Amino acid sequence: AQSVTQLGSHVSVSEGALVLLRCNYSSSVPPYLFWYVQYPNQGLQLLLKYTTGATLVKGINGFEAEFKKSETSFHLTKPSAHMSDAAEYFCAVIYGSSNTGKLIFGQGTTLQVKP
């Protein structure tokens, strides 16, 4: 079955440290790839997406992600964490075999930022 795996349900970093959140998908056909962020009691907000073109994509709030087809990965990074980055992060994919736009989400990673 098509799935998305996020390694690590909780990640803790110090303020100013590198953030790395991992995401792998299961498909031989590259899907459309997304990272969403969810703050407490809020809906999901798009951080960045990969559809076609350049494999390194930049998003809001200094986040970026690189699509690596050979590794079926789309890891999210940020060079320097801020306290305001503390939230839950979801990797999601749309498999392009149909045009439903149905998102398949990973289980999420909670990012904690320590002062």
Partner 1 sequence: DTGVSQNPRHKITKRGQNVTFRCDPISEHNRLYWYRQTLGQGPEFLTYFQNEAQLEKSRLLSDRFSAERPKGSFSTLEIQRTEQGDSAMYLCASTPSSGWNTEAFFGQGTRLTVV
Chain positions contacting partner 1, by CB under 8 A: 4, 9, 32, 34, 36, 41-46, 49, 51, 90, 92, 94, 96, 99-108
Q: How far is CA 61 from CA 7, 85, 112, in A?
A: 22, 8, 16
Whether the CB-CB separation of 77 and 61 falls below 8 Å is answered with no
Min CB(13)–partner 1 separation in Å: 20
2 HSE (CA, 13 A, CB side): 16
- Cβ closest to partner 1, residue 70 vs residue 98: 98
Whether the CB-CB separation of 74 and 97 falls below 8 Å is answered with no
Min CB(15)–partner 1 separation in Å: 25
Min CB(6)–partner 1 separation in Å: 8
- Cβ closest to partner 1, residue 43 vs residue 115: 43
